Amino acid sequence: MDVLYFAWVRERIGHPKDKLETGAATVRDLVEELRGLEERYEAAFADLDALRVAVDQELTDFDAPLAGAREVAFFPPMTGG
Amino acid sequence: MDIRVQESAFDLGAEANAFAARQKGMGAVVTFTGIVRDLGEGDLQAMQIEHYPGMTEKAISKIADEALTRWNLGDILVIHRHGVLQAEDLIMMVATSSPHRVEAFEAAEFLMDYLKSRAPFWKKEVTPEGADWVAAKDEDEDALSRW
């Protein structure tokens, strides 16, 4: 599964993308797995209220299931326009 | 529907004219233009705009589809830039057409409200004090509730 990071999430983690094998059932489970990797992931995922998530490029929430998902992205609230 | 996410600058007059020229039977065209604003006294060195390639176009198309179902519109144009911009650069534009002005105005406002907080763009301001990500405002999220 591709895991993408944008804006300050990317900066905190230090790179834009991870490729990983995961058995995580939901986005929340995936976040727990990532938090366990290294301290910078813990720093990036410290406050889930400050984050948004997209599964296969559709905005969703942290309880979304990951079965069949190919791409998950984490980022702060958007500021376009 | 014409959705463009691009690094290059666009010509507002040419885009607005071309959009208006291809509307048949429409009585109103509304355009909105977003401009990079310098919040201090000329201390904005750059505005960096990051986006999520692939999702950005999909998210904007979804918002535009929603507008087309809500209002009687002829067409929608959205251009949004990414990359490094300077103060006073044009950052984006939205155009809508409709037989009557009220629907064109409302649809343009709806598109702007949703683009601000549902299209995956992030802005970073670079000033002499450093570079900071622009935080999303609660008002922007609240603005969605009126639709």
> For residue range B51-89, what is the model confidence (pLDDT) as tens digits?
999 999 999 999 999 999 999 999 999 999 999 999 999
B41 pLDDT band, cuts 50/70/90, is: confident
Q: Is residue A61 part of a domain?
A: yes
CA angle A54, A60, A65 (to 5 degrees): 95
Q: Which residues pair with A78 in a beta bridge?
A: none
Q: What is the ipTM of this complex?
A: 0.94
Total structural domains within chain A = 1
Q: Which residues pair with B5 in a beta bridge?
A: B80
Which CATH code is given to the segment(s) B2-144?
Answer: 3.90.1170.40
Q: Is residue A31 part of a domain?
A: yes
For residue A14, which of A53, A50, A43 has the smallest C-alpha distance?
A43
Task: For B17-30, write each residue's pLDDT tens digit.
Answer: 999 999 999 999 99
Range of the domain at A70: 2-75
Candidates B58, B80, B122; nearest CB to A7: B122
What distance, in Å, lies between the first and last C-alpha atoms of chain A?
30
| B87-112 mean pLDDT | 97
Task: Give dist(CA B117, CA B13) in Å, integer.
Answer: 27
Cβ separation B34–A4 shorter than 8 A: no
Q: Is residue A7 part of a domain?
A: yes
CA angle B32, B36, B41 (to 5 degrees): 135
CATH of the domain at A27: 3.10.20.30
Q: Is residue A68 part of a domain?
A: yes
Q: Is residue A81 part of a domain?
A: no
Cβ separation B133–A6 shorter than 8 A: no
Q: Write out chain A residues lying below 8 Å of B134, CB-based.
A: 79
Which residues, at least 6 apart from B29, have a Cβ–Cβ distance to it below 8 Å?
B16, B19, B20, B23, B95, B96, B97, B104
Cβ separation A4–B52 shorter than 8 A: yes
Q: Where are the domains of chain B?
A: 2-144
Residue A54 touches chain B, beta carbons under 8 Å: yes
Task: Give dist(CA B109, CA B86) in Å, integer.
Answer: 25
Residue A27 touches chain B, beta carbons under 8 Å: no
